[in-house]
Structure 1
C-alpha cells in the first residue's frame, strides 16, 4: 500500500521516454520514434499516453508582453494496458510535423523560437510523468531561399520569435494558432526607405505563403504577400520579385 501511495505522487511510478529517430526536422516532415514505458515499483494501469508538439509564444497582455506554452498539434495512443513491476513496453510511433511548426535553426541576433515534443502518461491515481524532447527545426527550401534573397538585398535578421494568433491574407490564412515573425533591418538606412521588415511564413504541402510587414520611414506600415511554389524556387527570381515589392 505504501508503494502505491508513493506512486500516486510520482515516486516509483512508471516513466515514459520518447526516443526520436532524429531531432533534426523540417516543418511538414514525417518523423518516427520509439516510446519506451518503464514500469515503476507497483502494478499500474496505463489508460493511454499523449504527445504534444509545443512551442513558446509571445502574448500581448494588458500589463505588457509575456511568454507561454502553446500546443501546435497533439496525438493520443490508447489501449496500453497494465504494467507490472520491472516490465518495459516499446511502442513505435510515426507522425507528421505540423506544416506551420516554427523554425528554430536560424541565425538571428535574438532567437526566441523553441519547439519540443512532450510525452505524458495517463495513469490511474498518479501524477503525469512527462518527457520533453527539444527539436531542431530547419527551414524548407522555399523559406531558406527567401532568407537568402533578403541577405542579398542588404537586410540582416535581428530577431525571431513566435506570437499567439492567426495570420490572414487575401489568398491564405494560418491555422495553428501561432505564427513566427522574423524581423529584418536594412544594413543601409536609405535602402528602399525601409526601417524594418517582418516576415511570416505559412507553408503548405506544395507551396509556401509569405506575409511581409513593411515599416517605411515616410509612408508608415503596410503589408504585402506572395506565394512560392515549391517546384519553382529560384533565388534570382525571388530577389527580383522582392525588389519590386519593396520599392
Structure 2
C-alpha cells in the first residue's frame, strides 16, 4: 500500500515520498522489506536521512483511568546522505528485521484488532517530516499459531486482543508493552474461570507463553487472578501434541491456590530459570501484580469473533487520526525516541 506525502516542512514544491511495503507481510523476528520512493520537487534538496519508525497503538492504565496512545518501538535508518535533484525519481530499497516481540495482527488472515504501522521520517535541511503511515501486517510464528489453534480446538473462544503498556516481571520482556489475547473459557472450565489471557514473548531461541486466568470465587473464597509462564522452543511447532500440552497448562493454572500458577519449561528455556522458578506477575500501571486436530480451530473462532474489532483500521489501512492521537502519557516516550535519531 502506498501513501503519498508532500513534505510539510518544505511547503509547496517540496519532494514527495511514497513508502511501499512488500505485500507478503512479516513475522516476529523476521524480515520486513519494501522501498521508499522519492520524487524531487521544484528545487534541489539534501536528504539527510530516511528513517522508518515502527509504531503501535497501546493502552495504559493510570491514576486517571485508561488511555490510548502511540509508542514508537523501533527505528531504522534506511538511507540518506544524498542530494535529490529537481523532479528526480529515486528509489531506496530496504530490508529490516522486526523485533521478536512484535505483536501479531492477524490469524489465518483474520484481523485481531491490533493497530501497527510503519511511519517514514525524512530529514531535509535540518528539519524532520513524519509522513503518513503504512499499515503493518504481522502473521504469527508457527509456535504461536500452534498454541492458538490448540486453544480453539479445546473450546476456548476469541474475545479480543490489545496491547498493554507495562512489563511482566519475571520474564525476558524487551518491549515497553505486551500483547494480550483475551479468550472466553472452554465449557469444561467455565465454572473455574471467567476469562483466559495469553501473551507471547518470542525470542531467538523460542517463546515464553504467559497465561493468566480470571478465576471465579468459591464458597469460602473470592475470585482472583492466577498467572503462569511456560517456555517452548521454535523447533517444537510440529511433532507436538499441542492440545494435550496447552490443556495441561490450563489445568495447572486453574488448580493453583495462589495468585501465581506454576512455571513450566517445555523444551529449551532461553533464560535458564529451569522448572519451578521465575514466576511471572504483571507490573503495568493499574494491573495486578503437528498432530492431527479435528473440529473448528482458533482460525474459525477468530473469524467469528473478530468482526468489528479492528478499531482504527479502515479497509486494512491504519487511520492516521488514530495514530496521531498521542496522549500526554506517551508524549515523553516519543520525544525521547526522536532525540535519539
TM-score (norm 2): 0.64
Which residue is equivalent to 1:238? 245
Which residue is equivalent to 2:338? none
Residues in 1 aligned to 2:231 and 2:189: alpha-carbon distance in whole angstroms: 27
Matched, 1:19 2:20: yes
Aligned length: 239
* CA 130–110 in structure 1, closer or farther in 2 if over 3 Å, else same: closer
The counterpart of 1:224, out of the listed 225, 228, 242, is 228
* CA 204–7 in structure 1, closer or farther in 2 if over 3 Å, else same: closer
Residue 56 of structure 1 deviates from its aligned partner by: 0.5
1:120-139 residue CA offsets vs partner (Å, 9 max, x unmatched):
11011656151421121111
1:23-62 aligned at under 5 Å gives the runs 23-62=24-63
Residue 229 of structure 1 deviates from its aligned partner by: 1.2
Residue 243 of structure 1 deviates from its aligned partner by: 4.2
* CA 190–84 in structure 1, closer or farther in 2 if over 3 Å, else same: closer
Name whichever of 55-64 and 93-102 sits farther off: 55-64
Residues in 2 aligned to 1:110 and 1:92: alpha-carbon distance in whole angstroms: 28
Which residue is equivalent to 1:3? none
Which residue is equivalent to 1:157? 158
1:126-180 residue CA offsets vs partner (Å, 9 max, x unmatched):
56151421121111111111111211222111010001122222xx321111100
Which residue is equivalent to 1:215? 214
Residue 216 of structure 1 deviates from its aligned partner by: 0.7
Match of 1:66, SS state, is: strand
Name whichever of 138-147 and 214-223 sits farther off: 214-223
* CA 81–209 in structure 1, closer or farther in 2 if over 3 Å, else same: same
Residue 52 of structure 1 deviates from its aligned partner by: 0.7
Q: Which runs of 5+ in 2 are unaligned?
A: 1-6, 218-222, 256-341
1:104-119 aligned at under 5 Å gives the runs 104-106=105-107, 111-119=112-120
Q: Which runs of 5+ in 1 are unaligned?
A: 1-5
Residues in 1 aligned to 2:179 and 2:208: alpha-carbon distance in whole angstroms: 13
Residue 190 of structure 1 deviates from its aligned partner by: 4.9
Deviating 4+ runs (over 6 angstroms):
none
1:43-122 aligned at under 5 Å gives the runs 43-106=44-107, 111-122=112-123
Which residue is equivalent to 1:178? 177
Cα RMSD (Å): 2.4
* CA 211–190 in structure 1, closer or farther in 2 if over 3 Å, else same: closer
